[in-house]
Amino acid sequence: MPELTDPTRSTNPAFKRSVFVGISASAAALIGPAAALAADEGLGKPHPPLVAEDDPAIEVGTPQLDYTPAAGTLRKLDAYYAAPKNAGASTPGIVVVMHIWGVDAQVRDTVRRLAKAGYRTIAPNLYSGLGAPSGDNTSNIDPFRGPYGKLADDVVDDDLQHGVAYLQKLGSRKIGITGFCMGGAITLRQAVEFPQSYNAAAIWYGKVRYGTTGNNGAITPIALSYADELRTPLLGSWGERDTGILGDDVRALDHRLGELHKPHDLKVYAEAGHGFFDDTRDSYVASAATDGWTRTLAWFARYLH
């Protein structure tokens, strides 16, 4: 698994979120229901969902993606799912990879937001069977260290591939993947190792430096060698004030992908730290979250339609 980044301690303490909560009217128009909440600072703490479960434009479910690995016992895999009410054969799909707090209120809301934007969307619960508590209404990472430590890369990859299979069974022929924090790093791995599964990927503040110890010093070529294998169009959003994932590392990856002529769009937001899209916690930064969401929707529209 990627090295654990504590979202509550990985932003420069000199940064004050409240400075950046305002957004322009033009940006507000792009994110719909989020605009009113952002304008009056209703985000950045637990809040009513931006897209409710009973929204008439979508349908919501909690399918079981149970499967038996080639060698092993039955894996009972929970998931959260939402889709447009009018989903048909041409409706593309998106797999959402959870953050450290699991498939919590913020992730479920994101699944519904993507469904309302026109995508069959599923978030497999990678903590299934590991005894993780609910991540709703908490910013305490400590209860999740144990379940996180039990995650195994091969099981996580199988879980997500069964999410892909579920969307394909429903008819989605083009599929994207997006993930946050630890889920962003997992999204990158999925994009590299399973190019046959995904037509596009969108990373949110996931680790990009691999095969090295810590963040000290310039990133080494071997830490970016996976870029040579990447065939999935890659979009990514990071914060310059993130102390766990360095902006210089992202820029090095951007340069490497440019040299390789890989389709990509990587952006580092000067005003943001880690976890800036999470609108239920105080890491939220409206300007970066709004722009990142707009870019993500445009990326999926470009490659999934």
Distance CA 99, CA 115 (A): 19
Is 162 tagged catalytic?
Answer: no
The residues facing 237 across adjacent strands are 204, 267
Distance CA 164, CA 93 (A): 8
pLDDT at 230: 98
Give me the catalytic one of 162, 264, 274, 278: 274
Distance CA 132, CA 129 (A): 8
- According to CATH, the topology of domain 17-304 is Rossmann fold (3.40.50)
Distance CA 50, CA 104 (A): 14
pLDDT at 70: 84
pLDDT at 5: 66
pLDDT at 72: 86
pLDDT at 19: 37
Is 154 tagged catalytic?
Answer: no
Q: Provide the residue ranges of all domains of the chain, joining segments of one domain with +.
A: 17-304
Give me the catalytic one of 99, 104, 109, 181: 181
pTM (2 decimals)? 0.90
Task: Give per-residue pLDDT as tens, 63-97.
Answer: 999 999 988 899 999 999 999 999 998 899 999 99
**Which residues in the chain land under pLDDT 50?**
15-31, 34, 36, 38, 40
Residue 194: phi and psi, rounded to 5, are -130, 60
pLDDT at 12: 63
pLDDT at 248: 97
pLDDT at 216: 85
pLDDT at 24: 35
Give me the catalytic one of 242, 254, 278, 291: 242
Distance CA 301, CA 296 (A): 8
3-state DSSP of the chain = CCCCCCCCCCECCCCCHHHHCCCCHHHHHHHCCHHHHHHCCCCCCCCCCCCCCCCCCEEEECCECCECCCCCCCECCEEEEEEECCCCCCCCEEEEECECCECCHHHHHHHHHHHHCCCEEEEECCCCCCCCCCCCCCCCCHHHHHHHHHCCHHHHHHHHHHHHHHHHHHCCCCEEEEEECHHHHHHHHHHHHCCCCCCEEEEECCCCCCCCCCCCCCCCHHHHHHHHHCCCCEEEEEECCECCCCHHHHHHHHHHHHHCCCCEEEEEECCCCCCCCCCCCCCCCHHHHHHHHHHHHHHHHHHHC
Give the dihedral of Cα atoms 149, 150, 154, 155; nearest 10 deg.
-130
Is 181 tagged catalytic?
Answer: yes
Task: Give per-residue pLDDT as tens, 85-94.
Answer: 999 988 999 9
